């Protein structure tokens, strides 16, 4: 297991052991576990990430810590937008949609204002960091 996978696995275990609460770099931040289906493998994947509650939807940010490429979970959602999100002790079925234009820019600015690391990520890369709305479904 590489360092990023090992880090994520520790976060996932801590999240599940403490009803969604974790320490370290995510302490006090709104965190969810996103369940996707691998775009190429078809295998189930789980990724911890911060989110921004936005009405009845949850916004996630494909920052990849400012890397010059989108994270794997983003491509998984593009291939299969039906996913699940864990919040503490509950799991919600969701459908993913990218935000575009001024709505994307506005929501990213809100997240960067709340958590300045997101502004740093944006400065580190030339790509536009996708903002994805996870909308709960009835499924």
Q: Which domains does the chain have, with CATH numbers?
A: 3-136 (2.30.110.10)
What distance separates the 2 farthest-apart alpha carbons in the chain?
A: 39
Alpha carbon 56 to its chain centroid, in Å, reads 16
pLDDT digits (tens, 9 = 90+) for 64-79: 999 999 999 999 999 9
Distance in angstroms (rounded) separating the CA atoms of residues 97 and 83: 11
Q: What is the 3-state secondary structure (H, E, C) of 84-110?
A: EEEECCEEEEEEEEECCHHHHHHHHHH
- Average per-residue pLDDT in the chain? 94
Q: What is the pLDDT of residues 64-120, one digit of tens each?
A: 999 999 999 999 999 999 999 999 889 999 999 999 999 999 999 999 999 999 999
Length of the chain: 139
Side-chain-side CA neighbours of residue 79 (13 Å): 14
């Amino acid at each position: 297991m590489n360092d990023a996978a090992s880090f994520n696995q520790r976060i996932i275990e801590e999240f599940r052991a403490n009803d969604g609460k974790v320490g370290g770099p995510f302490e006090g931040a709104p965190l969810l576990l996103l369940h996707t289906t691998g775009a190429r493998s078809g295998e189930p994947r789980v990724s911890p990430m911060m989110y921004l509650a936005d009405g009845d939807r949850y916004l996630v940010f494909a920052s990849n810590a400012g890397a010059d490429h989108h994270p794997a979970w983003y491509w998984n959602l593009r291939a299969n937008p039906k996913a699940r999100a864990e919040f503490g002790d509950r799991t919600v079925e969701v459908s993913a949609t990218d935000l575009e234009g001024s709505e994307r820019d506005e929501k990213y600015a809100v997240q960067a204002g709340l958590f300045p690391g997101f502004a740093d990520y944006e400065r580190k890369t030339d790509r536009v960091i996708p903002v994805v709305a996870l909308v709960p479904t009835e499924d």
